[in-house]
Amino acid sequence: MKNTDELRALVDDALAAHLPHGDLQGLDDVVAATLEGGKRVRGALCLAVGQALGRDPEEVLPAALAVELVHAFSLVHDDLPALDNDATRRGRPSTWAQYGEAIAVLAGDALLADAFRLALSYDSPRVARELVEATLGMIGGQYLDVTGTEQDLAALNRLKTGRLFDASVGMALEIARVPEDDRARWRAFSEQVGALFQFVDDLLDGDGFAAAYGEEETRRRADEAAERALSALAELDADTTVLRGLVEGLASRTA
Amino acid sequence: MKNTDELRALVDDALAAHLPHGDLQGLDDVVAATLEGGKRVRGALCLAVGQALGRDPEEVLPAALAVELVHAFSLVHDDLPALDNDATRRGRPSTWAQYGEAIAVLAGDALLADAFRLALSYDSPRVARELVEATLGMIGGQYLDVTGTEQDLAALNRLKTGRLFDASVGMALEIARVPEDDRARWRAFSEQVGALFQFVDDLLDGDGFAAAYGEEETRRRADEAAERALSALAELDADTTVLRGLVEGLASRTA
């Protein structure tokens, strides 16, 4: 079995080699540039769940790339001046700052469509359905955030971050044809992983939960989410060794 | 068989009743508002092709709505200040002018994702694949237009307008399970319908072809495209009565 770092590298290499659709014309170079950098957590999670269920990473890779493309889409549009107005991303100019707003809008659109193209490479439409449901929830969360309608950080994060983590797991479950009845425990796991990721993100950035409730309380919640994620894994009928390592890595990450 | 106006009305009623995904939170109201008005040409074309192939409009309706949602997505994003900077659309404030740029970006994103959700309601992923390929081509065309890279109007229109007309036909072919070998003639038809629509649009708006080549030449090209579309229909093994009416209606439309 491949460990988390090997799975991350797999996603990273595949994204670097990923050729956005030829019909995108020159926009494909912009799309490729938006895919550079990034921790590949969602893609690696997708591969790791597939691997735990006995699926070859190659089979799960299109879904793993698709979830990374949806994530990249959300960053490119959220960075726009009208939204978060972030001129930098991963230490470099954000897409709109580098290419202008018009190109950034179109690049985000292209990433979203290309993500569905990848998720649609499977025989069953159920893989792509997982992704589209999650994407709609994520966009709804961004709407609540932009308009300030939702004050409950946990509810907001379940949409903005949680839904895509859930799709990472859900797509792998679809590919591995896990029976519906066995999915609830996997969903419980994905919910805790999404929460864990967000708590640690807020700790590292000093915003969100960390700004609202302080560092200590956020660390406590992160550790609690990690523990619950590990408990959920323990109840699963699958080889969850690598997934345990992934959770521990997310809990202790410093970047 | 239902005529073009009846098919348009079907699409119109279904769009008015369409409930965007619940997870979109308050954004669903904005999405619903972006769907008001519009000629429903693409949706009616999709239903008419399905009908010509013996398919019930109800079966084809999700695909017809999906193509209208992708069209609406493109309008909402293209109207943005950074792109075409259009403050009005169909005689009313455009989405960004009414709700602000941030909401307009998110509403466009939601329309695109919701379109794929509808196209994914079929058992086969091939319906949604038609739509995603067309959407990528359309976005590529918009990129060429925004950057001024492509000076050939016909090539630009084949991407910006033609691809979505092609998907309207292509999705109906998928739903009706038309064998691959029989599709080329349908594709020849859809190409001419897309060109016809654009020539007449330019005539009515006094831009594009009409501005570049004059009214007379554009009218000539529109009539030529209509004639070729009708010839393509005549070669098809299907009841194309309503489709003939649709072509004639597009050629003679005044709005």
pLDDT tens-place string over residues B106-122 = 999 999 999 999 999 99
Contact A116, B132 (CB under 8 A): yes
**Residue at B133: amino acid letter:** E
Of B83, B128, B163, the CB nearest to A105: B83
Average pLDDT over residues A96-103: 97
- Both structure tokens of A38: 């990034």
The C-alpha atoms of residue B90 and residue B103 are separated, in whole angstroms, by 19
Residues of B whose CB is below 8 A from A128: 116, 120, 125, 128
pLDDT of residue A27 exceeding 80: yes
Instruction: Flag if B140 and A27 touch (Cβ within 8 Å).
Output: yes
Global pTM reads 0.97
- Both structure tokens of B162: 């033609």
The C-alpha atoms of residue B85 and residue B92 are separated, in whole angstroms, by 14
Domain residue ranges in chain B? 4-252
Nearest residue in B to A70, CA atom: B113
Average pLDDT, chain B: 95
Specify the pLDDT at position B120.
98
The C-alpha atoms of residue A49 and residue A186 are separated, in whole angstroms, by 9
- Residues A4-252, CATH architecture: Orthogonal Bundle (1.10)
**Chain B closest-CA separation from residue A100 CA (Å):** 8
Among A145-149, B105-109, B182-186, B248-252, the minimum mean pLDDT is found in: A145-149
B142, burial (CB in 10 Å: exposed 0-12, middle 13-18, buried 19+): buried
Specify the pLDDT at position B135.
98
Estimate to the nearest angstrom the gap between the alpha carbon of B86 and the chain centroid: 20
Specify the pLDDT at position A24.
85
Instruction: Flag if B105 and A77 touch (Cβ within 8 Å).
Output: yes
Of A102, A109, A123, the CB nearest to B82: A102
The C-alpha atoms of residue B160 and residue A18 are separated, in whole angstroms, by 24
SS3 label, residue B157: helix
pLDDT of residue B87 exceeding 80: yes
Nearest residue in A to B134, CA atom: A23
B176 DSSP 8-state letter: T
DSSP one-letter string for B26-61 = THHHHHHHHTSS---HHHHHHHHHHHHTT--HHHHH
pLDDT bracket for residue B128 (50, 70, 90) = very high
Contact B112, A109 (CB under 8 A): yes
SS3 label, residue B240: coil
Of B102, B112, B139, the CB nearest to A27: B139
Of B109, B129, B140, the CB nearest to A24: B140
Specify the pLDDT at position B50.
98
pLDDT of residue A255 exceeding 90: no
**Chain B closest-CA separation from residue A227 CA (Å):** 28
E strand or H helix at B88: strand B88-89
Residues of B whose CB is below 8 A from A101: 80, 82
Give which of B116, B166, B171 to mutate to test A binding, by max A Cβ within 10 Å: B116
SS3 label, residue B64: helix
pLDDT of residue B59 exceeding 90: yes
**Chain A closest-CA separation from residue B225 CA (Å):** 24
* ipTM of the shown complex: 0.96
Among A34-48, A129-143, B19-33, B237-251, the minimum mean pLDDT is found in: B19-33
The C-alpha atoms of residue B45 and residue A101 are separated, in whole angstroms, by 34
pLDDT bracket for residue A233 (50, 70, 90) = very high
* 3-state SS track over chain A: CCCHHHHHHHHHHHHHHCCCCHHHCCHHHHHHHHCCCCCCHHHHHHHHHHHHCCCCHHHHHHHHHHHHHHHHHHHHHHCCCCCCCCCEECCEECHHHHHCHHHHHHHHHHHHHHHHHHHCCCCCCHHHHHHHHHHHHHHHHHHHHHHCCCCCHHHHHHHHHHHHHHHHHHHHHHHCCCCHHHHHHHHHHHHHHHHHHHHHHHHHHCCCHHHHHCHHHHHHHHHHHHHHHHHHHHCCCCCCHHHHHHHHHHHHCCC
**Bridge partners for B93 per DSSP:** B88
Instruction: Flag if B140 and A113 touch (Cβ within 8 Å).
Output: no
Of B25, B26, B129, the CB nearest to A120: B129
- Both structure tokens of A186: 């996997």
* Orientation angle between helical segments B101-119 and A126-147, nearest 10 degrees: 160
Specify the pLDDT at position A25.
86
Give which of B123, B136, B160, B164 to mutate to test A binding, by max A Cβ within 10 Å: B136
Q: Going by DSSP bridges, is the β-strand pair A88-89/B88-89 parallel, antiparallel, or unpaired?
A: unpaired
Instruction: Flag if B117 and A132 touch (Cβ within 8 Å).
Output: yes
pLDDT bracket for residue B22 (50, 70, 90) = confident
pLDDT of residue B193 exceeding 90: yes
Of A105, A110, A141, the CB nearest to B105: A105
Nearest residue in B to A80, CA atom: B102
- Nearest-5° angle of CA B26, CA B28, CA B31? 130
The C-alpha atoms of residue A2 and residue B64 are separated, in whole angstroms, by 44
